[in-house]
Amino acid sequence: MGARLLIVVFVGLASMPSLVSAQQGKDANVYQWNGNRWMPFNGYGIRLSVGPDGQPWVVNSSHEIYRSTNGSFQKLPGEAKDIGIGGDGSAWIIGTDDQVYRWNQNDWQKMPGSGIAISVDPSGSPWVIGADQQIYRWVNSQFTLQQGKAIDIAAGSNVWIIGTDNTVYQLQGNNWKPMGGVGVRISAGAPGTAWIVNDFGQIFRFENGSFVRVPGNAEDIAVNAAGQAFMVGARAGGRGQQPRRRD
């Protein structure tokens, strides 16, 4: 009886980012926005993205990659620092070697390019922030340099960045227009919307022309085009500094 119980517990932990890893690696709980507040969602991590099906993909502090299917996380091969899921369901990561990889349904295929942050647009094409803070877009099977510099990027129906001054910008035509917010992480939601996390871990949503405070504190935020939002909560020893601008 005792042995059978042990097996059940072991299998349950193996199917999701583990509680042990969460405690030791300072991962944060995953939460889903229900329109009014954040509801606990089974899993832990430090980076995440959301697919068009409303299911999150999570990277934990050990760089392990997990994909949620019907609310249950399954571990995938490989290791990552950041992850992005496109509107077509395609998945891309920044590996621990800083190289860019694309999921081929069985493993991660190495692609030309490297970076520190990634987001994938509705067509499945990634946008990457390089180690030099330059912005690159995937065009004709290669990354092409774009104007501007950033520390994070969100490629939805509109493309948004967190500039090197921590200001939020939206790509309008060929120029980056300041949108009035300050943050460190950003995700694009429904057309014309974006969610940001600032240095203090505070969450803001762009709506009706300005950023509005959303309850809760986060390490990272992810939203899809349907507006389905997830976050990983503020980690112990993580977000907690006052919002600041980088000069």
Q: How confident is the model over 81-129, as pLDDT tens digits?
A: 999 999 999 999 999 999 999 999 999 999 999 999 999 999 999 999 9
CATH architecture of the domain covering 21-233: 6 Propeller (2.120)
- Strands 202-207, 210-223: pairing is antiparallel
Euclidean distance between CA atoms 61 and 237, whole angstroms: 13
Structure token digits, residue 30: 């995953």
DSSP class of 22: H
pLDDT averaged over every residue in the chain: 88
User: Cα separation of 121 and 143, whole Å?
Assistant: 14
Residues 202-240 pLDDT 10s: 999 998 899 999 999 999 999 999 999 999 998 655 554
| Mean pLDDT (whole number) for 50-72 | 95
For the four alpha carbons of 62, 42, 194 and 27, in that order, the dihedral sign comes to negative
Q: Quick: pLDDT tens for 138-149.
A: 999 999 999 999
pLDDT mean over 33-54: 96
pTM of this structure: 0.86
